[in-house]
Amino acid sequence: MRRVLDGVAPATVLCLQAPGGYGKTTALAQWAAHDPRPVVWLRVRRVAADPYRLTRSLVGALKDAGLTHDADPWPGRGDPASWHLDTLPVVEALVSSAEEPFVAVIDGVEDMSGSPWEWLVESLASSLPRGSTLAMGTRDALPATLWRLHAGGEVRVVGPEVLAFDELEAAQLMALLGVRWPRDRLERLLRRTEGWPVAVYLTGLAALNGHQGVRPAADGAGLDEYLRTEIVGRLPPDDARFLRRASVLASLDAPACDALTGAPDSSARLHRLSAVNHLLAPQGESHDGQRFRMQPLLARFLEDDLRERDPVAWRTAHSTACRVEERRGDIDRAVHHARLSGDDARLSELVWSHAVEPLGHGRWDVVARWLEGVDPGRLHSRRGLALSAAWAAIQAGDVPRANRAAVAAAAAADGEALRPYLDLLRAAIGGEGLEHIEAATRKFVTTMPTDDRWKTLAYYLLGVALVLRDRPDEGVEAFEAGRRRAEALDVPVVRALCLAGLADAALLWGEQHRALSYVRTARAVASSCRLDAVAASAPVFATSAVAYLAEGRHGDARREASRALRHIALMGDTAPWHAVVGRLALARVNLGLGDPERARVLLEEAGDARGPATASPVIDRMYAETQEHLSRLTTHLTGASSLTTAEVRVLQYLPTHLSFPQIAAELVVSRHTVKTQAMSAYRKLGVHTRTQAIERARHAGLLPPG
């Protein structure tokens, strides 16, 4: 800790100002031990925090250090009312008469209170001989009487940001304790503790006792016990109650704390607490005034304490915090608080009303994170939650989860106002056929508000149904309407899908130049969002492959075809119309690329996927034309080209290191089926191990890089 003070510029007054556990006493002791000047060390004890006693100690210490030889300059305790007249002049004369520069250290300054001791500190600092230093350690604010010296630049303050451990110091402490941690674990520890020395130290002790993380057992030596006794226990009860309620917030301001605590004095209290306790620090200004942040470990402790003391108050605090964060526009935090409050109706409303924003940009993982930790019973009891879960699962390519959530959304007793969105979900799943898709989406686009972002998807699905029902002109109008609205309402995923639909229509009419223009725009849109991570975006990549092949860009066509195949494999039986159309399009691409083996597999799978839900004259023509083209060629099914879509789907799970039974559980099939498909894929790829299969599949474009 000595290095903290070695680099501080010389000053008349040096103050280490930080909460408990920042090593102030250790730093002062190490620094004083290496200072060549005589040292007068004064420790304030809470049980005897008396400025008269401190003054007597100072006089005695100066004599013991040989700095003064005055026989007995002390006039006696005297009347407190005459403190300035009979005591301070003696102190000033005594200090100024010291025969050489010295260091006076006062540790535990926070335990002194009242004006006499503050004037004593000011007198001591003002009368020091040239070259002397008054060093203090305090948890609270500097004595107000030092303002003159502070204004004159004679006061240096060292705060917690300097006293906090860096990586080297943390590693050295752990080594002294006999704890050997790798660098990445130390880095995580420093991030979580923010370098708070006592937290690092107690974590090291806990590691020696077999505990993990930064929450050692509260056995008297743990971090929780330290926080309880040394931090919270030293606060006035009203302040402790205030901070306990406010601890659920990541960012504290006066209006939010007023709402949480029911008290109108939060602004003054926050400023006062931040001035005397650096575990509550200013965070910046907002339209609601000054914001503060609480040290994360303290916030965690206080919130846990509130939950144990009063679970109802804890849930109420999170409910209030949810409204606060929603007003601030921080939906992530608002959802977090709604989830913990136990108010599933509010959670459902909040998640559903904001889910379209991340889903529209391909960020299904954001919605999945919002729903993380919500048990299936809660999740499936609310239509808004179930709908959100279903759409996130569709984008992720998790077909079983999407189907379960869709069934739950239909069965949920609440959310009748969400019935149109349930009908839209059923249309997207597509199991009831193209006629149902057209009816459901046409009703949605004619009855829902113009600025409803889900309307963009309804237009896209309507365009698909119309084109496949052999009404391409109407389908193009729907795609164009969806594209315009998706651009205006910032829904890039749907915009890319509509552009792909327009490109398909242009290719059907022989307008290759227009089709390529749509494809280029769709690819530009894809780069603005995470389209490659959205399983439902398979039509974009399939259309891109067809257009690139028509342009003669075989490398690009092969790359896009591989992406489309991966997405089709993940989509399973969701959107069966594309399970057929996508395979037929890729069969044509592979024929054009000289790979009839894969084209034949895709054609056979397209035939197997046909049924009532895909009844379409357009699909019938596509299938017959592709079959006729392929029938002219004879080949044997060998190598990676002969992989079935089911086998490609299993390949997607190999890099996850899930076992075959775990993959079977994800796909809701038997473990025997997964093992059979995996072994067949190994054989066709010409490999014998999982690692080899992953490497070969990536080389063939059947798995994404890395």
CATH number at residue 600: 1.25.40.10
Q: What is the rounded average pLDDT of the residues 406-434?
A: 91
Check pLDDT > 90 for residue 515: no
Q: Which pLDDT does position 359 carry in this prediction?
A: 95
**608 in the same domain as 499:** yes
Check pLDDT > 80 for residue 137: yes
**588 in the same domain as 505:** yes
117 belongs to a structural domain: yes
Q: Which of 105-114, 223-232, 309-318, 452-461 has the lowest mean pLDDT?
A: 105-114
Q: What is the rounded average pLDDT of the residues 280-292?
A: 79
Query: Structurally, how many domains does the chain consist of?
Result: 5
Q: Which pLDDT does position 637 carry in this prediction?
A: 42
User: Most confidently modeled of 147-161, 241-255, 509-523?
Assistant: 241-255
3-class DSSP state of 652: helix
CB neighbours of 111 closer than 8 A, spacing ≥ 6? 44, 45, 46, 49
**519 in the same domain as 616:** yes
539-553 pLDDT, tens per residue?
Answer: 999 999 988 888 888
Q: Which of 156-160, 233-237, 334-338, 663-667 has the lowest mean pLDDT?
A: 663-667
Q: Which pLDDT does position 220 carry in this prediction?
A: 35
Q: Which of 4-18, 259-273, 280-294, 384-398 has the lowest mean pLDDT?
A: 4-18
- Give the CATH number, domain containing residue 77: 3.40.50.300
Q: What is the rounded average pLDDT of the residues 125-146?
A: 85
Say how many CA atoms lie within 13 Å of 484 toward its Cβ.
6
pLDDT band with cut points at 50, 70 and 90 for residue 223: confident
Q: Which pLDDT does position 633 carry in this prediction?
A: 61
**437 in the same domain as 512:** yes
669 belongs to a structural domain: yes
Q: What is the rounded average pLDDT of the residues 513-542?
A: 87
Helix (H) or strand (E) holding 543: helix 538-551
- Give the CATH number, domain containing residue 686: 1.10.10.10
Q: Which pLDDT does position 636 carry in this prediction?
A: 44
Check pLDDT > 90 for residue 116: no
Listed residues 309, 342, 375: the one ending a domain: 342
Q: What is the rounded average pLDDT of the residues 671-684?
A: 84
256-267 pLDDT, tens per residue?
Answer: 999 998 888 899
Q: Rounded distance, CA 501 to CA 475, Å?
A: 9
Q: Which of 17-31, 67-81, 503-517, 554-568 has the lowest mean pLDDT?
A: 67-81
401 belongs to a structural domain: no
Q: Which pLDDT does position 138 carry in this prediction?
A: 87
652 against 117, higher pLDDT: 652
Check pLDDT > 90 for residue 425: yes
Helix (H) or strand (E) holding 16: strand 13-17
Q: What is the rounded average pLDDT of the residues 361-367?
A: 94
**656 in the same domain as 549:** no
- Give the CATH number, domain containing residue 255: 1.10.10
**421 in the same domain as 322:** no
Percent residues over pLDDT 90 in the chain: 33
Give the gyration radius of the chain's Cα atoms. Answer: 36
Q: Which pLDDT does position 221 carry in this prediction?
A: 46
Q: Rounded distance, CA 394 to CA 497, Å?
A: 15
**493 in the same domain as 552:** yes
Q: Which pLDDT does position 219 carry in this prediction?
A: 39
Sign of the dihedral defined by the CA atoms of residues 303, 306, 310, 314, in that order: negative
**243 in the same domain as 201:** no
Q: What is the rounded average pLDDT of the residues 591-616?
A: 88
Distances (CA, A) of 197 to 23, 159, 215: 7, 13, 14
CB neighbours of 535 closer than 8 A, spacing ≥ 6? 394, 395, 396, 397, 567, 570, 571
Q: What is the rounded average pLDDT of the residues 67-71?
A: 66
13 belongs to a structural domain: yes
Check pLDDT > 50 for residue 639: yes
Check pLDDT > 60 for residue 209: yes
Q: What is the rounded average pLDDT of the residues 381-394?
A: 94
pLDDT band with cut points at 50, 70 and 90 for residue 361: very high
Write down the mean pLDDT value for the chain.
85
29-63 pLDDT, tens per residue?
Answer: 888 888 888 888 887 765 445 667 777 777 788 88
pLDDT band with cut points at 50, 70 and 90 for residue 635: very low
Q: Rounded distance, CA 182 to CA 67, Å?
A: 50
Which residue's entry shows tokens 């390519």?
397
Check pLDDT > 60 for residue 386: yes
| Sheet of 13-17, strand order | 39-43, 103-107, 133-138, 13-17, 155-158
399 belongs to a structural domain: no
Q: What is the rounded average pLDDT of the residues 201-223?
A: 63
**296 in the same domain as 178:** no
Q: Which pLDDT does position 376 carry in this prediction?
A: 86
- Model pTM? 0.75
267 belongs to a structural domain: yes
142 against 366, higher pLDDT: 366
**619 in the same domain as 514:** yes
- Listed as own residue / partner, the contacts of 3-6 with beta carbons closer than 8 Å and 24 or more positions apart are 4/31, 4/158, 4/162, 4/163, 5/31, 5/158, 6/31
386 belongs to a structural domain: no
Q: What is the rounded average pLDDT of the residues 172-189?
A: 88
Listed residues 137, 163, 189: the one ending a domain: 163
Q: What is the rounded average pLDDT of the residues 524-542?
A: 87
Listed residues 179, 200, 229: the one ending a domain: 229
Q: Which pLDDT does position 93 carry in this prediction?
A: 84
**622 in the same domain as 516:** yes
Check pLDDT > 90 for residue 506: no
For strands 103-107 and 289-294, give the pairing: unpaired
Q: By residue range, what is the domain housing residue 682?
A: 642-699
375 belongs to a structural domain: no
**284 in the same domain as 154:** no
